[in-house]
Amino acid sequence: MSVIGKSEIRKDVRLKVTGKAVYIDDLSFPEMLWVKVVRSPLPHGLIKRFNPSSALAVQGIVSVLTYKDIPGTNVVPIVLMDQPLLAEKVVRYIGEPIALIAGEDRQAIEEGAREIDIEFEKLPPILDPLMAMKEDSPKIYGKDNIFSHHRIRRGNIRQGFEECDLVVENRYTTSYQEHAYIETQGVIAVPYEGRMKIYGSLQCPFYVQHAVSSVLGLPYSQIEVIQTTTGGAFGGKEDVPSLVASQAALVAFHTKRPAKLIYTREEDVESMSKRHPAVIDYKSGVTKEGYLKAVQVKYVLNAGAYSTLSPIVLWRGTVHAVGPYKCPNVKVDSYAVATNTVPCGAFRGFGMPQITFAIESQMDELANRLHIDPIEFRLRNILRKGDRTVTGHLIKESMELEKTLKKASQIGWKREREISNGYKKRGMGIACNYYGVGLGAGGRHLAKAGAWVSVLSDGSVNFAVGTTEMGQGMETVLSQILANELGVKYERVSMVPTATTQVPDSGPTVASRATVMSGNALIKAARPIKKSIMEVASKMLKSPISKVKLADGYATSGTKRIGLDEVIDKCFQQRKIMSSQGWYKAPYTSWNKATGQGKPYFVYSTGTNLAEVEVNTLTGEVTVKRIIAVHDVGKVINPQTAAGQVEGGVLQGIGYALFEDMAPAGGKILNTNFSTYILPTAKDAPEIVSNFIEDPYPQGPFGAKGLGEQPIIGVAPAVINAIFDATGVRIRDLPATPEKIIAELNSHHPTFIPLGRR
Amino acid sequence: MSVIGKSEIRKDVRLKVTGKAVYIDDLSFPEMLWVKVVRSPLPHGLIKRFNPSSALAVQGIVSVLTYKDIPGTNVVPIVLMDQPLLAEKVVRYIGEPIALIAGEDRQAIEEGAREIDIEFEKLPPILDPLMAMKEDSPKIYGKDNIFSHHRIRRGNIRQGFEECDLVVENRYTTSYQEHAYIETQGVIAVPYEGRMKIYGSLQCPFYVQHAVSSVLGLPYSQIEVIQTTTGGAFGGKEDVPSLVASQAALVAFHTKRPAKLIYTREEDVESMSKRHPAVIDYKSGVTKEGYLKAVQVKYVLNAGAYSTLSPIVLWRGTVHAVGPYKCPNVKVDSYAVATNTVPCGAFRGFGMPQITFAIESQMDELANRLHIDPIEFRLRNILRKGDRTVTGHLIKESMELEKTLKKASQIGWKREREISNGYKKRGMGIACNYYGVGLGAGGRHLAKAGAWVSVLSDGSVNFAVGTTEMGQGMETVLSQILANELGVKYERVSMVPTATTQVPDSGPTVASRATVMSGNALIKAARPIKKSIMEVASKMLKSPISKVKLADGYATSGTKRIGLDEVIDKCFQQRKIMSSQGWYKAPYTSWNKATGQGKPYFVYSTGTNLAEVEVNTLTGEVTVKRIIAVHDVGKVINPQTAAGQVEGGVLQGIGYALFEDMAPAGGKILNTNFSTYILPTAKDAPEIVSNFIEDPYPQGPFGAKGLGEQPIIGVAPAVINAIFDATGVRIRDLPATPEKIIAELNSHHPTFIPLGRR
């Protein structure tokens, strides 16, 4: 394990800090056209007239394309096949694509877009999901505007509540959250010798391959998708690049020229997916000893005009709807609802930050009302090995939530709480969470990954995987896993950009699955090569294979050692297998759709966030002073990148808790740039103490689970609970803006004294 | 075998005939620089002064580089490591690269090149290999100007000749032959995120990878070589693209911009490799019954200034120096000799057209002197299964030379010979040859190949191999092999361009090895995928696996059948392995360098060419009326591409026999374009009757051996023998130009009446 657990320097760091990384907008091709999307200005309407002739008359405009020009199917294939690439007769949200303008330069397409002549007939929009769910509402999807409905039924919910000593019931709401990737959506489609090559900033090349294939009506083999260095994604480049790529590809297909489509920040914010706003009705009941007896949840996501990934986002939220706690009686109903708003989709946490905000607010309130320390209260309820989740999954391995809770409390809970300056109140809050690693039973057929490893005759190593680097550090972590497995030096290993012609369909890069899935696939790919090296090293060292060890660039046996470069050269002389492919299938999962019972994920990461805040009771402003984030993610492959993931997640969680908000007026998002969409900056960053509990997951690569999504999930509730602790004000509508806090402080007399001040 | 043996339409035909194929000069990259090579005007000299300042002052010139700018090693690594990328102090041939000029466009570099200020000191050149071999000659390589020397020693040569009834001894000489690929050498080097990407017209991407790595001092993993559609190669893009690519890469490395280097036809002809001119002293002895008893050969190749592939070219010629005949007493000595001329290298036939011209001229002369029909004479001597070659190799399988000989004679030997018009004489000639498939013992460590196969969920199939398509039809033949193996339709299979990041080092694409090597690797790669498909099909058909057959896009069992697309979709649902890599090592070969004994190749293709010519005895002009070419290449995968290979080889062989010549004056090639270098055209094409003897080679893919080189080898001697048959004139100095024939006709009274007129 000489390379595992070491903070090796990120593989992508030099390129990125020296500006040599090639992002999609840095790339161009000769004869390349620029593409602009003509979008709907209405949340709901009929297209009555579309006349491109004035646009086509603009100098430099080459082509204007509508749905009529689609040679394949006018659908962006995701889950429900309801979303057209280009609107046909009806538009369903502001920003919906209607036509594509292609021209010689940016100026031409901007001018062309202004000249497009479209006439609409307005239709009444439905903007609120609860209104959309009403029986008498106008229908924009199916018979009930419901894209998806999931449920959990466990025990007897009525009886469960009857046995409770305390029942708390509240409505929680959350706002949109923008991914705020630094690099906006962008793709270049290049027709090349009969194939369509797609270069782009994206998470899931195989999704894009399928989408472009479907839209162009070409076989998968003729669509090659190559990921370019991707400047952030956070789920925002999971499903939507299928749309962007298909738009560019359609232009390239018709014009036979490369086509570049880079979204402006404004159109990206206006039209691309975001974290779903949620309405959560949460009812929890406990015994007076502090044991959860019953939980009933109604979880509604505003999915927007098309379903995209909403059914899956909703499913994950549903599975985790009770949090990492035991509870005998559970009833969960969840709904993804169609409205005439921008389609929401994947976002780090994937349906869990919303529900976890509700879960942990409830837990905090229950503890407070019962006068039980919130850590003690959680310790009475949390899942441990040998327990069953509310979906009936018996936890057998790698579940160390208790240790994260104890570690977090040990680091920070006992700290002297300063309540200084009179009007500046300090408080602490805590939140636990768990996270099913990988796609789970909801995406079982995608729970697979391929990898390719090629050791070259000079001892350098190339590998390729089907998952993508988007800033999260996958390339680094996988390089460490491979270097450790082969015994070569970390510096000798490099990753070839992810492309559909390098590896088989490995599913998407989401759900914290890359380390486990691609890591295991890489180890399997390395196996025959390792065998070659071991056989040759054994002969060179005159030692039985069983005694040969490969590490740090050497083959050793006892005191004898030999450089691996020499061994590898010999392997090549002997024509040994030095290149191979690996294939990994995730362990078994299951799900009963009617009861919500089963083993939805093969393993869970867990974590505890502890927040310390200072609330200015005169202005309502909240300053997060410290976040202690302790995560159980199995073996940590690279402590520095792991800490980086946590730090980024914490800040993103603080943004979700306090700042990030959108106020669509009549379905129109008004703050479409970062001057008005308020993100946390370095100045808002608290002291972040990250810590890891390393209980190895036996089926993970060297014991690793997944980490990517974990860090954001529990931050907002910890902060909200800390605000309550500081002020007695409980915010149930994210984000907790100064306005809301001041309003609460002025109107509200807290019934229960926060524990921190008892 | 539903796809094997069928004339499927070439995979590359549509792109090529519609002009959509992207050749290297069609490709460009933003910010790309143009590169020009500054070359030596002298065959031998010292560089006394090099001053780039005037060149650098030319507008648009960005950089002038010399050997001092090479960060790695100033060697183009091939066999002997003697060739610098850029000359340091000495220049050794006209056209030798000295410096690289990079500029914004073609005009700038042309002007810059004119401004380069170089002063040379002339050194006396050695231009003739026989002179160079003399003890007192000036030395330009080592102690004796000999790059390489091979030998065969078998039996007792002195005693062998003593037992002969007839001994014939002659000197044969051959000229240069130009590859005359339609597309000249060209490469673009693109620095991309720390890697160097090389796009180019080339045969051997792994050679280029190693060369660029060595010159730039970067690990192999950082050099990515992608073959672009290649407009002909014929061996001329085997070793030399390493030089061209390293030149472009050096510019890209220093300027950090893409660098394009396209050779003009003139510099390509002047400086790139060609078929070696040869001097062959050949002595053969027979009994009066017509059995070969002794052969002694001295085979000298003019290698030019650097060794390049000459040692290997020479080795192949040496191994085959007696032809496909039994002979108990053999002495062969062969030499590749350094001279101050352009370095020669690989060319279709690879050292064999030269020696085969001598072998078959001798055989013809022996038969004629013995008054034995030349076919009958060959039948007494040819190799059959159970015989040993002159290197001691016991032939066990797939050797059907006899059938080719009989088939050729059956088609054409008995044909009525017209001797019309008085001064127009008709004659027929015959030549046999064999060809060791693959690299043989001389390149044993390269005798390996990898392949990658990926079946996609819509049933389309991508594959990649490490060998290259250069017009020979490999892509088509391999697609057929893979389609047949998987049972999918030929149309569903497509090849991804060959690149070093797709597959492991698979050796070069030479020596008629692609079908056997990559074909077998593909079959191995398909194995786990076929297993997946069979398992799932077996369940779907409710039939044991042993009864399931895959063919023509269906899985069948008895009368039940199911579409493969459906089966493949199910495989994906079940996450079966549908992508895999294969690895094939060629069978055992051996070679004793001292005695020239061993098993140099694992199998041989064989063939017989029969030529019918008409000689105009007034002008000396020869018209080839008909070539009957019968080849034994194992199972023919695609009859149409096979016939195409034969037709191309025949025409190239006619060029070699009659037209193609270079007359270097003082080391300078004067005919550097196709207006003066005379190639056969469609008008010179005779009737070509191609025919195949299909004795399957058990270790070949579906029984195939190799075909690429075979067709050219025996053409020239058959033509030359036919000229003798027509006129009594025996030309021993290729090509047989009208001038030589007229001179012979005017001066020479044939001693022996040609058989045809007895």
Judged against a pLDDT cut of 70, whether residue B556 lies above it is answered with yes
Q: Which two tokens stand for residue B166?
A: 């007839």
Q: Is B166 exposed, middle or buried (0-12, 13-18, 19+ CB in 10 A)?
A: middle
| Candidate from A29, A573, A585 with C-beta closest to B575 | A585
A583–B585: do the CB atoms touch at under 8 Å?
no
Query: Residue B749 has what pLDDT?
Result: 57
Judged against a pLDDT cut of 90, whether residue B693 lies above it is answered with yes
| A258 CB-near residues (< 8 Å, 6+ apart) | A28, A29, A30, A31, A32, A33, A188, A189, A190, A191, A252
Judged against a pLDDT cut of 90, whether residue A753 lies above it is answered with no
Q: Count the Cβ atoms, other than its own, within 10 Å of residue A710.
A: 29
Tell me which residue range forms the domain holding A214.
Answer: 30-123+210-218+231-262
Across-strand partners of A195?
A: A192
Name the DSSP letter for residue A387: -
Query: E strands, A242-328, where?
Result: 259-262, 278-286, 292-304
Do B418 and B373 belong together in one domain?
Answer: yes
- For residue A210, the chain B residues in CB contact (below 8 A) are 457
Distance in Å, alpha carbon of B587 to nearest chain A alpha carbon: 12
SS3 A706: coil
Do B522 and B627 belong together in one domain?
Answer: no
- For residue B29, the chain A residues in CB contact (below 8 A) are 29-30
| Candidate from A213, A492, A581 with C-beta closest to B581 | A581
- For residue B580, the chain A residues in CB contact (below 8 A) are 581
Query: Residue A418 has what pLDDT?
Result: 57
> CA-to-CA distance for B324 and B717, rounded, in angstroms?
14
SS3 B454: strand
Do A93 and A56 belong together in one domain?
Answer: yes
> CA-to-CA distance for B308 and B241, rounded, in angstroms?
12
CA distances from A470 to A228, A461, A650 (A): 9, 21, 18
Task: Read off the pLDDT band of A756 (50, 70, 90).
Answer: very low
Residue B735: cis peptide before it, omega within 30 degrees of 0: yes
Does B727 fall in a domain?
yes
Nearest CA in chain B to A224: B496
Give the pLDDT mean for A543-561.
97
Do A235 and A353 belong together in one domain?
Answer: no
Q: Determine the residue among A575, A576, A580 to mutate to test chain B binding: the one whose Cβ has the most chain B Cβ atoms within 10 Å.
A: A575
Judged against a pLDDT cut of 60, whether residue B446 lies above it is answered with yes
Distance in Å, alpha carbon of A509 to nearest chain B alpha carbon: 17
Amino acid in position A35: V
Does A653 fall in a domain?
yes
CATH code for position B67: 3.90.1170.50
Do A554 and A667 belong together in one domain?
Answer: no
Chain CA centroid to CA B307, Å = 17
pLDDT above 70 coverage of chain A, percent: 97
SS3 A641: helix
Nearest CA in chain A to B457: A220
Does B130 fall in a domain?
no
Interface ipTM = 0.95
B456–A219: do the CB atoms touch at under 8 Å?
yes
B456–A221: do the CB atoms touch at under 8 Å?
yes
CATH code for position A673: 3.30.365.10
- Is the sign of the CA dihedral A529, A534, A535, A536 positive or negative? positive
> CA-to-CA distance for B359 and B714, rounded, in angstroms?
10
Residue in B263, B422, B436, B262 with CA at minimum distance from that of residue B349 = B436
Do B557 and B696 belong together in one domain?
Answer: no
Chain CA centroid to CA A715, Å = 15
Q: What is the pLDDT of residues A621-670, one digit of tens each?
A: 999 999 999 999 999 999 999 999 999 999 999 999 999 999 788 889 99
> CB–CB of A338/A297 below 8 Å?
no
Chain CA centroid to CA B684, Å = 23
Q: Determine the residue among B581, B584, B585, B602 to mutate to test chain A binding: the one whose Cβ has the most chain A Cβ atoms within 10 Å.
A: B581
| Candidate from A30, A219, A580 with C-beta closest to B460 | A219
Residue at which a domain ends, from A585, A610, A628: A585
Give the pLDDT mean for B526-539.
98
Do B565 and B477 belong together in one domain?
Answer: yes
Strand A604-616 to strand A424-436: parallel, antiparallel, or no bridges (unpaired)?
antiparallel
Do B308 and B396 belong together in one domain?
Answer: yes
Does A134 fall in a domain?
no
Do B251 and B350 belong together in one domain?
Answer: no
| Candidate from B456, B461, B501 with C-beta closest to A496 | B501
Query: Residue A191 has what pLDDT?
Result: 97
Residue in B624, B581, B587 with CA at minimum distance from that of residue B603 = B587
Q: Determine the residue among B31, B220, B463 to mutate to test chain A binding: the one whose Cβ has the most chain A Cβ atoms within 10 Å.
A: B220
A14–B194: do the CB atoms touch at under 8 Å?
yes
> CB–CB of B77/B35 below 8 Å?
no
Judged against a pLDDT cut of 80, whether residue B753 lies above it is answered with no
Query: Residue A417 has what pLDDT?
Result: 57
- For residue B502, the chain A residues in CB contact (below 8 A) are 501-502
| Candidate from A220, A459, A496 with C-beta closest to B460 | A220
Distance in Å, alpha carbon of A549 to nearest chain B alpha carbon: 24
Q: What is the pLDDT of residues B161-218, one digit of tens each?
A: 999 999 999 999 999 999 999 999 999 999 999 999 999 999 999 999 999 999 999 9
Task: Read off the pLDDT band of B665 (50, 70, 90).
Answer: confident
Helices B474-486 and B514-541, interaxial angle, to 10°? 30
Does B141 fall in a domain?
no
Q: What is the pLDDT of residues A408-450, one digit of tens each?
A: 999 988 655 555 568 899 999 999 999 999 999 988 899 999 9
DSSP A541-583: HTS-GGG-EEETTEEEETTEEEEHHHHHHHHHHTT---EEEEE
| Candidate from B14, B494, B575 with C-beta closest to A448 | B575
Distance in Å, alpha carbon of B550 to nearest chain A alpha carbon: 20
| Candidate from A224, A492, A575 with C-beta closest to B585 | A575
Give the pLDDT mean for B331-338.
98
Judged against a pLDDT cut of 80, whether residue B337 lies above it is answered with yes
A194–B14: do the CB atoms touch at under 8 Å?
yes
Residue at which a domain ends, from B522, B555, B585: B585
Residue A735: cis peptide before it, omega within 30 degrees of 0: yes
Residue in A566, A564, A454 with CA at minimum distance from that of residue B450 = A454
Q: Which two tokens stand for residue B255?
A: 């300027």
CA distances from B373 to A671, B169, B357, B416 (A): 96, 20, 19, 16
Give the pLDDT mean for B390-418.
88
Phi/psi zone of residue B731: left (φ > 0), alpha (ψ -120 to 50 degrees), beta?
beta
Residue in A119, A583, A598, A103 with CA at minimum distance from that of residue A392 = A598
Query: Residue A755 has what pLDDT?
Result: 47
| Candidate from A20, A448, A461 with C-beta closest to B193 | A20
Q: What is the pLDDT of residues A208-227, one digit of tens each?
A: 999 999 999 999 999 999 99
- For residue A504, the chain B residues in CB contact (below 8 A) are 454, 578-579
Query: Residue A430 has what pLDDT?
Result: 97
CB pairs under 8 A between A and B: 117
- For residue B197, the chain A residues in CB contact (below 8 A) are none
Q: Is B288 exposed, middle or buried (0-12, 13-18, 19+ CB in 10 A)?
A: exposed
Task: Read off the pLDDT band of A531 (50, 70, 90).
Answer: very high
Query: Residue B412 has what pLDDT?
Result: 85
pTM of the model: 0.96
B460–A501: do the CB atoms touch at under 8 Å?
no
Task: Report how many domains make up chain B.
Answer: 3
Do B457 and B554 belong together in one domain?
Answer: yes
Name the DSSP letter for residue A10: P
- What is chain A's mean pLDDT, rounded? 95
A579–B581: do the CB atoms touch at under 8 Å?
yes
Q: Which two tokens stand for residue A530?
A: 């390792």
How close are the terminal C-alpha atoms of chain B, in Å? 49
Across-strand partners of A302?
A: A337
Q: Count the Cβ atoms, other than its own, within 10 Å of residue B57.
A: 10
Give buried/exposed letters for A393-403 (b at 16+ CB in 10 A, else e): bebeebbbbbb
Does B71 fall in a domain?
yes
> CA-to-CA distance for B281 and B417, rounded, in angstroms?
33
Nearest CA in chain B to A446: B575
Query: Residue A412 has what pLDDT?
Result: 85
Q: Is A624 exposed, middle or buried (0-12, 13-18, 19+ CB in 10 A)?
A: buried
Do B563 and B599 belong together in one domain?
Answer: no
Does B580 fall in a domain?
yes
Number of helical H runs and strand E runs in chain A: 19, 26
CA distances from B653 to B431, B645, B715, B720, B722 (A): 12, 12, 5, 11, 14
Nearest CA in chain B to A585: B575
| Candidate from A29, A452, A501 with C-beta closest to B496 | A501
- For residue A222, the chain B residues in CB contact (below 8 A) are 460, 494
Nearest CA in chain B to A26: B30
Distance in Å, alpha carbon of B585 to nearest chain A alpha carbon: 7
Task: Read off the pLDDT band of B758 (50, 70, 90).
Answer: very low
Q: What is the pLDDT of residues A142-181, one digit of tens each?
A: 999 999 999 999 999 999 999 999 999 999 999 999 999 9
Distance in Å, alpha carbon of A562 to nearest chain B alpha carbon: 20
Query: Residue A642 has what pLDDT?
Result: 97
Residue in A340, A332, A331, A329 with CA at minimum distance from that of residue A315 = A332
CA distances from A27 to A199, A469, B31 (A): 9, 18, 11
- For residue A192, the chain B residues in CB contact (below 8 A) are 22
B583–A579: do the CB atoms touch at under 8 Å?
yes
Distance in Å, alpha carbon of B673 to nearest chain A alpha carbon: 30
Does A225 fall in a domain?
no
Do B436 and B453 belong together in one domain?
Answer: no
- Kind plus residue range of the DSSP H or E element containing A153: strand A146-154
Name the DSSP letter for residue B146: E
> CA-to-CA distance for B99 and B93, rounded, in angstroms?
15
Amino acid in position A206: F
- For residue B20, the chain A residues in CB contact (below 8 A) are 193-194
Question: B688 φ, ψ to 5°?
Answer: -115, 120
B220–A458: do the CB atoms touch at under 8 Å?
yes
Give buried/exposed letters for B720-753 (b at 16+ CB in 10 A, else e): bbbbbbbbbbbbbebbbbeebbbebbeeeeeeee
Judged against a pLDDT cut of 50, whether residue A751 lies above it is answered with no
Nearest CA in chain B to A578: B504
Residue at which a domain ends, from A520, A554, A585: A585
Query: Residue A296 has what pLDDT?
Result: 98
Query: Residue B419 has what pLDDT?
Result: 56
Distance in Å, alpha carbon of A87 to nearest chain B alpha carbon: 26
DSSP B5-68: TS-PPPTTHHHHHTT----GGG---TTPEEEEEEE-SSSSEEEEEEE-HHHHHSTTEEEEE-GG
Residue in A106, A694, A666, A690 with CA at minimum distance from that of residue A339 = A666
Q: What is the pLDDT of residues B254-308, one digit of tens each?
A: 999 999 999 999 999 999 999 999 999 999 999 999 999 999 999 999 999 999 9
- For residue A219, the chain B residues in CB contact (below 8 A) are 456, 458-460, 492
Nearest CA in chain A to B22: A193
